[in-house]
Chains A and B, each alone.
Chain A
């Protein structure tokens, strides 16, 4: 109720007041809607057979890890008013290369991990530098990168190739207590990203750049460096997600990363990060990823045909996004 009676600023007129209250509701929904959605989905899930079985919950968590980690990096980018479409194919490239190079040899794990993480950062830095130096729209640049990376994947292999050493599969199968390692990585990553985003100067600068770039520049923030940094973070998180993808699949599949960038972006937006920049919700992003995965899990458990699932998922995302990004038309 307090939500509806929030003090309207300078609005004696009841009509204006109503509008302001509407805006407040929408805003609150944007910030907390993802958690409401999760509660609703869990409630629906509880009616499904096997939803609470240990196997299903493990399965859910493993799926969240991959989208969630990629979405964490994407949150920095979107909060700075950018977008990184290349991250899905980057994940695909990293997983294919990692599996191809390791080829079942456990002694190669450390060098391959280092090289692929460096590759992710390098792709991110390239994106950032190109965007900053030329002023190209990030959507076009990262789309170009998406096409190029996809081509590189298929130049490397056009079929399933290689296998990971059994030790590496522990990244997905191994557990720390009840949690798979990949989820532990997501948890640590989320806490680190949340801390960096809300409690460091860098995080403040990202928000400043996203909400008002000219002012950020006037305030002495080196906007270019911040932008390069957010794309580098996105590249790094994409590479980590790609390695987990490799561990999960156990082999290199060239189409593995297809469309994952869109899942990551939707997770970020559902989590309450503004597409217009200047506002980010790191933990909301994790919630958004969980929401997407829960939705498909429940539809699977309820034995909804995959085609119907696509329609339902699409419509729910459409409705949620409409609600989230709708503003009073100017």
Chain B
């Protein structure tokens, strides 16, 4: 009897609790961490091996490609703009890296330098067109991504191409103290991103531009320069992501970058950075990246085919995106 009365009496209270501003605010800020925690509990109950540090760190290493690229895209998206050229940058710079390395350890430094320079150049062009010409960021970066993939095909002639240097591959296969270097790379880039966004004037300007363009303009924020810098950061991060990809997979193929831009976007949005800008941050993005990675691992552990992973990813994006949007709307 008492069990029947319980829910009916408790229900309004739960609703009131859920609508409480503190709950909504914290839910939005930390919700993705709870989702991550929940997924890990599910994973742990499915397989005892899941919660071992080795396995978890492998997931982090796997997620580092999307993760590193997502750090830069987060900065762009805080300003209320978008960058979908990431896949193009990763594909092109991946080929450039193995093309220059050509299986020789002596070529690692020039290869890395060239990759970062190309990423930077692409970011600067994107940023210039968007900040100074006022071109719609989605379309311009979309066309840029398509062009870069064309350039990559032109560069390789469509064949398997190049060879990563052995020392490069060994470095990324290394696990100092059990921690994969890819995970360390991700942590380092995320740490730098976090500092830039939270602790510098540049970071504050990103939020100002995204949150209130007009007041940013009136208070003398160098809007154009800041936007160009944000895109430059996104380009460099994508280039580093491609290095991580080669470290992880060995040889890039024409398809490796395909669709990555959307995984990156999904991770950033899951982390609470909105399309409208002015919100979110690097920490959320890290959580978003890990959540997506754990979710796809779980789908595989459950024995579903690879295609189901795609359905689950799509469903997560829709569900979490809708929940965020609904919580923001309530506030208005």
- Point out residues on A near B: beta carbons under 8 Å: 83, 130, 133-137, 139-141, 143-155, 158, 262, 265-266, 269, 275-276, 306-315, 317-318, 321-322, 325-330
A137 with B318: CB separation less than 8 A? no
A147 with B134: CB separation less than 8 A? no
Interface centre among A135, A146, A150, A306 (most CB of B within 10 A): A135
The segment from B54-62, B178-186, B320-328 found at the interface with A is B320-328
In the assembled complex, the Cα of A317 lies from the Cα of B144 at a distance in Å of: 9
Determine the chain A residues whose CB is within 8 A of the CB of B134 once the complex forms: 325-330
A136 with B140: CB separation less than 8 A? no
A310 with B153: CB separation less than 8 A? yes
Does B38 have its Cβ within 8 Å of any Cβ on chain A? no
Determine the chain B residues whose CB is within 8 A of the CB of A309 once the complex forms: 150
CB-defined A-B contacts under 8 Å, sample of 23: A130-B322, A134-B325, A135-B325, A136-B324, A140-B317, A144-B266, A144-B314, A147-B262, A147-B314, A158-B307, A275-B138, A275-B139, A306-B158, A307-B153, A310-B154, A311-B150, A312-B150, A314-B149, A321-B139, A321-B143, A322-B133, A325-B136, A329-B224
Given A135-B326, A145-B318, A150-B310, output 4 extra A-B contacts at Cβ < 8 Å: A83-B138, A275-B136, A312-B150, A321-B135
B150 with A321: CB separation less than 8 A? no
A148 with B310: CB separation less than 8 A? yes
B: contact size bracket: 35 or more
Q: Mark B126-151, 1 if CB is under 8 A from A, else 0.
A: 00010111111011101110111111
In the assembled complex, the Cα of A153 lies from the Cα of B323 at a distance in Å of: 26
B157 with A317: CB separation less than 8 A? no
Q: Mark B237-281, 1 if CB is under 8 A from A, else 0.
A: 000000000000000000000000010011001000011100000
B144 to chain A, nearest CB (A): 6
A330 with B217: CB separation less than 8 A? yes
Asked whether A317 and B262 contact (CB < 8 A) given A146-B314, A307-B154, the answer is no
Determine the chain A residues whose CB is within 8 A of the CB of B324 once the complex forms: 136
Determine the chain A residues whose CB is within 8 A of the CB of B329 once the complex forms: 134-135
The A interface is mostly helix, strand or loop, or mixed, namely helix
Specify the chain B residue showing the minimal Cβ separation from A136.
Answer: B325
Determine the chain A residues whose CB is within 8 A of the CB of B129 once the complex forms: 322
Interface centre among A144, A265, A269, A306 (most CB of B within 10 A): A144
In the assembled complex, the Cα of A183 lies from the Cα of B148 at a distance in Å of: 33
B306 to chain A, nearest CB (A): 7
Determine the chain B residues whose CB is within 8 A of the CB of A148 once the complex forms: 310-311, 314-315, 318
Specify the chain A residue showing the minimal Cβ separation from B306.
Answer: A154
A155 with B313: CB separation less than 8 A? no
In the assembled complex, the Cα of A120 lies from the Cα of B262 at a distance in Å of: 23
Contact of A318 among B140, B309, B314 (CB under 8 A): B140
Does B17 have its Cβ within 8 Å of any Cβ on chain A? no
Asked whether A144 and B321 contact (CB < 8 A) given A135-B328, A151-B314, the answer is yes
Does B177 have its Cβ within 8 Å of any Cβ on chain A? no
Contact of A140 among B224, B265, B311, B328 (CB under 8 A): B265
In the assembled complex, the Cα of A275 lies from the Cα of B140 at a distance in Å of: 12
A129 to chain B, nearest CB (A): 10
Asked whether A322 and B135 contact (CB < 8 A) given A137-B325, A140-B275, the answer is yes
Determine the chain B residues whose CB is within 8 A of the CB of A318 once the complex forms: 140, 143-144, 147
In the assembled complex, the Cα of A152 lies from the Cα of B148 at a distance in Å of: 29
B313 with A307: CB separation less than 8 A? no
Does B10 have its Cβ within 8 Å of any Cβ on chain A? no
Specify the chain B residue showing the minimal Cβ separation from A326.
Answer: B133
Does B308 have its Cβ within 8 Å of any Cβ on chain A? yes
B139 with A136: CB separation less than 8 A? no
B143 with A141: CB separation less than 8 A? no
Specify the chain A residue showing the minimal Cβ separation from B274.
Answer: A137
Asked whether A310 and B315 contact (CB < 8 A) given A140-B275, A322-B135, the answer is no
Determine the chain A residues whose CB is within 8 A of the CB of B314 once the complex forms: 144-151
Top 7 closest A-B pairs, CB basis? Answer: A310-B150, A148-B314, A151-B310, A314-B147, A154-B307, A147-B314, A151-B311
A311 with B311: CB separation less than 8 A? no
In the assembled complex, the Cα of A262 lies from the Cα of B262 at a distance in Å of: 13
Specify the chain B residue showing the minimal Cβ separation from A320.
Answer: B143
In the assembled complex, the Cα of A10 lies from the Cα of B217 at a distance in Å of: 25
Asked whether A155 and B311 contact (CB < 8 A) given A145-B318, A310-B146, A329-B134, the answer is yes
B138 with A311: CB separation less than 8 A? no
Determine the chain A residues whose CB is within 8 A of the CB of B303 once the complex forms: none
Determine the chain B residues whose CB is within 8 A of the CB of A137 once the complex forms: 269, 274-276, 321, 325
Determine the chain B residues whose CB is within 8 A of the CB of A314 once the complex forms: 143-144, 146-150
A272 to chain B, nearest CB (A): 14
In the assembled complex, the Cα of A308 lies from the Cα of B140 at a distance in Å of: 20
Specify the chain B residue showing the minimal Cβ separation from A139.
Answer: B275
Determine the chain A residues whose CB is within 8 A of the CB of B213 once the complex forms: 330
Determine the chain B residues whose CB is within 8 A of the CB of A150 once the complex forms: 307, 310, 314
B150 with A155: CB separation less than 8 A? no
